[in-house]
Structure 1
Amino acid sequence: MSDNPMRPTHPTSSTRPESPESPEGSGGSARPDRPAPTVTVIVPVHNTRRYLDRSLGSVFAQTLDPDRIEVIAVDDGSTDGSGAWLDAAAATHPQLTVVHQPPSGGAGKPRNVGLDRAGGDYVFFLDSDDHLGPEALARLTRMAEEHHSDVVYGRIVGAEGRGAPVDLRTTNPRVSIFDSPVYWSLAAYKLFRRSFVERHRLRFVEGRLLAEDLPFGIAALLRADTVSVLADYDCYHLHGRDDDSNASRQDMDWPAYLAYIDTVLADVAAGVPPGPDRDTLMVRHFHGEILMPFAAPYLARDEAGRRAMREAARPLVDRYLTDRVLAALPPGLRLRAHCLRAGLDAELTAVVRADTGRTPGPPHLQDGRAYAAYPHFRDPDHPLPDALYDLTSRVAVQQRLTDLQWVGGVLHLHGSATLRAVGADHVEVVLHRSGAHVGVPAAYGPDGTWHAALDPATAAHGAPMADGVWGLKIAVTAHGTEAGDAGVAGDAGDVGETAGTSPAAAVRREAWLVPEGGAAATDTAPRVVSHGPAGPTVAALFLSSPHGHLHLDLDHDGARRPLGADLRGAAACARSGRATVAAGVTLPGCPVDAGLQFVLRDATRCVALRTTVERAAGDRYRARARLRSGPSGTWRVALRLTAGGLRRELPVQSADGTGPLTLRVP
């Protein structure tokens, strides 16, 4: 990556609270009366007065000690009162320095000015229309300090119409840019070690409204020793402006923009040799920069303007579109890239038009594969390969498990499910165990919701399910509409209009069931359920770690997940030998005709007591026994459960749960 110091060339002025040790206009960032800051927050400001209370306010409200935070706000020629607001804020917030400068045409120069003045161990770039979570800086700097990170990504969440560029779900102190999603977010809003930035002379491109941060972000990720991700806290809130004036939404000289991207990607190619790693990065750039203009901006131009855009993009396609990159793109971008490379200008326009302001038809299903509903599919007058339309690998289950509960010995499950981009018309719950599987049909509604009833006594084609641990998945199938031999041509709306269905056209996918919402509080207590002719068995739901996949454990011996985990009791014996034993326990699903009886055991003997049992709501039982006299000794107390062929002795714990309940008979 080329070095690009980009020092300021326009005169600037700075304001900060007056101090004898820190004269007006000084470029230093640390004052003798304040400790050196841990982090410098750099905020470029241009006509964002309406957002400054939210943006700068989120910095002033950080849980990190204010003495450890330095804020440098660079007013880039604002005309809406932003500069005056910043000056007033600096009078009451000692950590804020304000720099005023003429408008520079983008966020690059204000960020560079802030970098030149920064004194923190770390720098964080905050756009003036976004805001931070209250604990963001404390958490980010702590991770950087603990793991010696050069770059730390905090979780980014979208707000007010803007989506997050990448969904960071897993906190990881050290990630690779080639097998994690971090490279998909090259924007500035993250934490950087300042010594790392200065060692590599990283600076932003000045005078650009869009993609000025690409060279900075790319160079940082390629050169960093340690890139970390903090995904368990919403650090950065990315807003859309209510006047739709975000830089990424503005009109552009797109041929000039693509020529600029050409220079950026030349540096990427210089740093990463040809092969899978470079292709991984280029997939992101085809998504984010190369093919991005080929949408509404492309259609808005006359033929000469469109030709200029195509000619600017083709060198990038020729250099970086390998077969591996092409296969990794979604069908819409795959078709665009192919048309650019092959010079299929009319086809390119048709594909762009199908994606812009039109509702595509349903995907076309044939031979177990799904094809996107774009123009000219199998049109003999426009020979485009089927592989360009193929979205089979992108068909995934979208599902929610919203409720599950036992009713008697039957597990009822409710949720919603469909196949992304394809839809669905059939759902079943599938249980897997050691190569075996059991399918339970689900009632599937037109609104995408489903309900299934799982009875372990009859689920295996009318027979009981085998003992063991079963993983629960949802299987979703779309049969779709199969096209005739003539093929489909014309606009996207033409796809799938011919009638006829075939099982061979079906697309089926499975996904683990993961409870969420109210179902997340899954009742994992073991319970007694019917198991056909063999009599009752012990069943328990549990969630696997760490992914939370739903499993069902059927265990006739009750050894893996014993019943009666809350069995507590008390026992007392008088000198005369009269004794009382009482205990309470929850036994979900216990049959009404089941027997409960106290049992006393020592090393060699067993005594069964006449027991009185009361049943209360919520499968709660209370058992009592009186012993007029008995053999002397110290006895362990258990509660024997008998239900058909199910026979268990459940050890009773003392009332405080500190150990087994014992009865001492003198």
Structure 2
Amino acid sequence: MGVQLTVVVPVYAVEDFLLACLDSIRAGLTPEENAAVEVIAVDDASPDRCGAMLDAYAAEHGTVRVLHLSSNVGLGLARNAGLAEATGRYVWFVDSDDQLPPGSIRAVLDRLRETEPDVLLVDHLREHEDGRLQTDASSPLLAGEPSLDRLLGVQHTAWNRIIRRGLLIENELWFRAGWYEDIPFSNPVLIAAGRVDVLNRVCYHYRIGRPGAITATRSERHFEAFDQYDALHRWLDRNDTPPAVRLRMFTLMVNHLLVVAGNDSRMHARFRRPFFRRIAEQYRRHRPAGHRSPSGSAGIKHRLVAANSYALYSAVRAGYRLAGLRRRPTERPPLVSQDTPVASRPVQTSSLR
């Protein structure tokens, strides 16, 4: 049967989490399943013991291959290096500080063989530093009526979608250098696919708040998101993307950039005004014909971006934050059971064209 699934694991400065990640990929596999899965770990010139740990792990487990990069290239290009060596029909990009819950590989293999999609979306939980597991806000979209419009709203990451390798080659879809490398990759993968299936099962635990993670680091490098969105729109232009999809992508872009702007863990106060100005610039540059601001509080922020009114945005943000401090949560976010029913209907994305 050969290799069905290549799991690409880029590795950099994660020695405290690396072995748990690798073990979670291999756990519980039968000899037949083990033969259907290859793991390619890419040592992105990690400054800690990760390189040596990978070599030792590969010597013990024959299905793990290690690539050592001579210099640090970043997450996206490290993924590309692993992808270039992949032999599986499908590829899954798993970050080395995250884990797969038990049974995930088996469930994915079974679903891939059953439906043979171009892309298989899976659900995930957010894992906090204290071990608490939290449902992602976009997870309910996986359980609803499947459509491209709906699925574009699922968190746009590489690790929640298993992709037919041929689709990436046919459409020249690779990761770009820099932060926010998922932006011009994850949604084009869905748009280019002829058949998208949903495995509405938690198959990934995404670690949040880890020191050193992009989402927990204040840096001017968050401005790199704008270049990534420009690359995304160039891809949309080249591929004659339908107007309805362009409208959806534009709204999601503005929403995402506003999240980054308002996040104190990412955005230092002195960068917030110039970042907001860049959002307004992106808004003018990429706004598609027929766009209307969404309803509710999101629509208020969209209109402030359209007006390039940072003063009012800052006042509105302060009001929301004050209201949030006054509210006390009555319960923790719900958990997703490992026994969540599996969605059975694949999505024919080509029907939107």
Give the TM interval when normalised to the shorter protein.
Answer: 0.7 to 0.9
Q: CA RMSD in A?
A: 3.1
Larger radius of gyration: 1
The structure with the greater share of residues assigned to strand is: 1
Contact 1:154–1:230 (CA under 8 A) maintained in structure 2 = yes
Shift of 1:45: 0.4
Matched, 1:359 2:326: no
Deviations 1:179-222 (A, max 9, x none): x235422211121111222222221112x1x3102212122111
Matched, 1:140 2:108: yes
- Specify the alignment match of 1:559 in structure 2: none
Shift of 1:105: 4.4
Query: In 2, Cα distance between the equivalents of 1:126 and 1:361?
Result: 35
Corresponding letter in the other structure for 1:347: L
Which residues of 2 match residues 52-63 of structure 1 at below 5 A?
52-63=18-29
Residues 225 and 351 of structure 1: is their aligned pair in 2 closer, same or farther, counting only changes over 3 Å? same
Deviations 1:418-449 (A, max 9, x none): xxx9x9xxxxxxxxxxxxxxxxxxxxxxx99x
Contact 2:141–2:153 (CA under 8 A) maintained in structure 1 = no
Give the one of 302, 310, 326 matched to 1:337: 302
- Specify the alignment match of 2:338 in structure 1: none
Query: In 1, Cα distance between the equivalents of 2:60 and 2:265?
Result: 45
Contact 2:40–2:65 (CA under 8 A) maintained in structure 1 = yes
Give the one of 19, 33, 39 matched to 2:5: 39
- Specify the alignment match of 1:287 in structure 2: 255
Matched, 1:244 2:208: no
Residues 167 and 325 of structure 1: is their aligned pair in 2 closer, same or farther, counting only changes over 3 Å? farther
Query: In 2, Cα distance between the equivalents of 1:197 and 1:346?
Result: 43
Shift of 1:245: 2.3
Which residues of 2 match residues 534-613 of structure 1 at below 5 A?
none
Partner SS state of residue 17, structure 2: helix
Contact 2:218–2:266 (CA under 8 A) maintained in structure 1 = no
- Specify the alignment match of 1:104 in structure 2: 72
Corresponding letter in the other structure for 2:323: T
- Specify the alignment match of 2:344 in structure 1: none
Which residues of 2 match residues 459-478 of structure 1 at below 5 A?
none
Corresponding letter in the other structure for 2:49: G
Matched, 1:51 2:17: yes
Query: In 2, Cα distance between the equivalents of 1:256 and 1:236?
Result: 26
Query: In 2, Cα distance between the equivalents of 1:325 and 1:248?
Result: 29
Residues 47 and 153 of structure 1: is their aligned pair in 2 closer, same or farther, counting only changes over 3 Å? same
Contact 2:217–2:266 (CA under 8 A) maintained in structure 1 = no
Contact 2:3–2:88 (CA under 8 A) maintained in structure 1 = yes
Contact 1:47–1:80 (CA under 8 A) maintained in structure 2 = yes
Shift of 1:75: 0.6
Give the one of 91, 94, 115 matched to 2:83: 115
Which residues of 2 match residues 65-464 of structure 1 at below 5 A?
65-160=33-128, 164=136, 166-168=138-140, 175-178=146-149, 180-189=150-159, 190-206=161-177, 208=178, 210-231=179-200, 233-241=201-209, 243-253=210-220, 254-268=222-236, 271=239, 275-289=243-257, 292-296=260-264, 300-302=268-270, 305-318=271-284, 319-320=286-287, 325-328=292-295, 330-331=296-297, 333-356=298-321, 358-360=322-324
Query: In 1, Cα distance between the equivalents of 2:112 and 2:228?
Result: 33
Deviations 1:223-270 (A, max 9, x none): 101111101x321111125x4322222223244432442332343355
Unpaired runs of 5+ in structure 1?
A: 1-34, 363-420, 424-446, 449-666
Query: In 1, Cα distance between the equivalents of 2:75 and 2:311?
Result: 37
- Specify the alignment match of 1:601 in structure 2: none
Partner SS state of residue 16, structure 2: helix
Deviations 1:575-627 (A, max 9, x none): xxxxxxxxxxxxxxxxxxxxxxxxxxxxxxxxxxxxxxxxxxxxxxxxxxxxx
Residues 325 and 266 of structure 1: is their aligned pair in 2 closer, same or farther, counting only changes over 3 Å? farther
Shift of 1:69: 1.1
Shift of 1:55: 0.4
Partner SS state of residue 105, structure 2: helix
Residues 297 and 158 of structure 1: is their aligned pair in 2 closer, same or farther, counting only changes over 3 Å? closer
TM-score (norm 2): 0.80
**Sequence identity, in percent?**
23
Query: In 1, Cα distance between the equivalents of 2:141 and 2:308?
Result: 40
Partner SS state of residue 203, structure 1: coil
Shift of 1:307: 4.6
Corresponding letter in the other structure for 1:166: S
Query: In 2, Cα distance between the equivalents of 1:82 and 1:66?
Result: 23
Deviations 1:486-531 (A, max 9, x none): xxxxxxxxxxxxxxxxxxxxxxxxxxxxxxxxxxxxxxxxxxxxxx
Deviations 1:139-178 (A, max 9, x none): 2222222222010011211212575362157569x94311
Query: In 2, Cα distance between the equivalents of 1:307 and 1:81?
Result: 40
Corresponding letter in the other structure for 1:359: A
Query: In 2, Cα distance between the equivalents of 1:187 and 1:310?
Result: 23
Corresponding letter in the other structure for 2:16: R
Contact 2:175–2:182 (CA under 8 A) maintained in structure 1 = yes
Contact 1:38–1:120 (CA under 8 A) maintained in structure 2 = yes
Deviations 1:344-369 (A, max 9, x none): 3321221222344x33599xxxxxxx
Contact 2:5–2:38 (CA under 8 A) maintained in structure 1 = yes
- Specify the alignment match of 2:335 in structure 1: none
Residues 336 and 63 of structure 1: is their aligned pair in 2 closer, same or farther, counting only changes over 3 Å? same
The structure with the greater share of residues assigned to helix is: 2
- Specify the alignment match of 2:346 in structure 1: none
Contact 1:129–1:239 (CA under 8 A) maintained in structure 2 = yes
